[in-house]
Each structure stands twice: as C-alpha cells, then as structure tokens.
C-alpha cells in the first residue's frame, strides 16, 4: 500500500546576503544554492518557497536593492510573514542570521525544521525519485 505524503509549503532558508558584502554575483550564487533544493521538494509533492522570491520584487518595486537601507525592512519581515503560512522550514548549511531567525520563528510556531532535503517527508522515497 502506498502512503501519500501531504503537500507542504516549505520555506527554504539559508545564506543569501551573509558574507557577500551585497555583491550581486555572490548573492546570485547563494540564491542558486537555495534554489537547488526547490526541485526535490516539488518532485516530492511539496511547494518550495524562498523568501527572496517575494522580497526582491517588493524591493525593486520600491526602487531599492539589497544594499539599500529599505532591504532590512523588507527581507526579514517577508520571511516572517511567509512563515505564518508555511508548514515547515528546510534550513540549508551556512552562516545566516536571517535563516537562523526563520528557524527560531518556525520553532516558536511549532513548525518542523528539516536540516537536509533528504529528511523532508517524501523526498527520500522511491516514488519521489
């Protein structure tokens, strides 16, 4: 008998700006690393979410970028607002104050926190491969 894994909205958290000095090439590389987890989650029936997918267009529409002071008022609050709707967090490796805040918020809200993509329900099953 096959057990279906319920679809979860999962916030992928990890380094984005950390250690980059807001260098666009470095932040883009960090975003690409976060996005690498999106396909395995989606393939397993989940909906992956990355805060920057929401926050960056918001910043651009305000005429700002990640180096702008407005970024602090958008990046972290966006993740916090998303976590009000997410079912879990996938915390990827690397130093990140924002990702650590995401984990703390998730734990306060009783949401599961996964530390490896393989640990997310359904990802490591043959049906998701």
**Cβ(92)–Cβ(52) below 8 Å:** no
Pick the CATH number of 13-124 from 3.40.50.2300, 3.40.50.10400, 3.40.50.300, 3.30.420.40: 3.40.50.10400
Span 92-116, pLDDT tens digits: 999 999 999 999 999 999 999 999 9
In this structure, the number of other CB atoms found within 10 A of the CB of residue 42 comes to: 14
* Predicted TM-score (pTM) above 0.75: yes
The Cα 47–Cα 42 span in angstroms is 6
For the chain, which ranges sit under pLDDT 70? 1-5, 125-129
Give pLDDT, residue 126.
Answer: 53
Give pLDDT, residue 6.
Answer: 86
Give pLDDT, residue 4.
Answer: 61
Give pLDDT, residue 3.
Answer: 47
Where along the chain do its domains lie? 13-124
Q: How many residues are present in the chain?
A: 129
Find residue 89's DSSP bridge partners: 11, 113
Give pLDDT, residue 107.
Answer: 97
Find residue 12's DSSP bridge partners: 90
């Amino acid at each position: 008998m096959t057990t279906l894994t319920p679809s979860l909205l999962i916030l992928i958290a990890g380094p984005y700006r950390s250690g980059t000095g807001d260098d666009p090439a470095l932040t883009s590389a960090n975003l690409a690393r976060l996005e690498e987890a999106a396909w395995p989650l989606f393939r397993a029936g989940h909906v992956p979410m990355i805060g920057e997918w929401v926050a960056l267009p918001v910043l651009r529409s305000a005429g700002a970028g990640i180096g702008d002071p407005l970024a602090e008022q958008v990046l972290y609050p966006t993740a916090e607002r998303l976590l009000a709707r997410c079912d879990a967090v996938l915390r990827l490796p690397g130093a990140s104050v924002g990702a650590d805040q995401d984990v703390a918020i998730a734990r306060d809200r009783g949401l599961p926190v996964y530390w490896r993509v393989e640990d997310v329900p359904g990802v490591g099953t043959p049906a998701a491969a």
